[in-house]
Amino acid sequence: MRDSLNLKSKSGIHRLISALEERGYIRRLAHRARAIELLRAPPTGYDLAATDAADAGRDGDASRADGDADNVIRGHFGRLSVAEPAPDRALPLYGRIAAGTPIEAISDPEASIDVPEYVLGEGEHFALEVVGDSMVEAGIHDGDLVLVRRCDAADNNTIVVALVDGGEATLKRLHKRGDKVALEAANAAYETRVYRADQVRVQGQLAGLIRRYR
């Protein structure tokens, strides 16, 4: 077949057989080596190799280099257009937040961090560095930077930054139970802490996370 079609490699034959199968002229039989069933005859004067090359050129997807020893199909993809990157927003970095036993809240920003605008969405945001492992089952690890949307209320089962007794900040999952507020860890090694509603003030809700690999 290769000699009859004046091709220089067997890969060209494989490609033409595949093209015949795609066009519905033949069917390769399963579990039988090189077994082919003829389904219908091509039109009189039909030249598969020429038609296949013409189709490729017309579609603009690929072309065959004449005389190529391996009948390599080369793609023509043109120049890719790259969208302008979204602008960054500088967020205040308010120190560290406990993902474990609450630690003293830090109210003054130590620094700032640039975050792409599309990550944040609407609203005012700030960043905190996580200390502890109580939220690992929620994918939040020691040393991560959490991006927090500032708010004073949040729905049940959301992860929030909560200020406890006006002086300690913690990162936990929020559950409201009547006049009680439960701050739940995402680590079986930590117990859920329950407070009176007037002891807990929501400072913000988790909006994103940045992980740095050292």
CA separation, residue 79 to residues 28, 56, 76, 82, 192 (Å):
38, 19, 9, 9, 55
Q: Which two tokens stand for residue 19?
A: 């093209």
Closest to 177 measured CA to CA, from 163, 193, 159, 161:
193
Which of 10, 172, 176, 180 is an active site residue? 172
43: CB partners within 8 A, 6+ apart: none
CA separation, residue 72 to residues 15, 23, 90, 121 (Å):
10, 21, 50, 47
| 3-class SS of residue 22 | helix
134 among known catalytic residues: yes
Which of 112, 134, 176, 180 is an active site residue? 134
Instruction: Report the Cα–Cα distance between both ends of the chain, in Å, rounded.
Output: 59
Q: Is 196 exposed, middle or buried (0-12, 13-18, 19+ CB in 10 A)?
A: exposed
- For CA atoms 87, 93, 96, 97, the dihedral sign is negative
172 among known catalytic residues: yes
* Catalytic sites, residue numbers: 134, 172
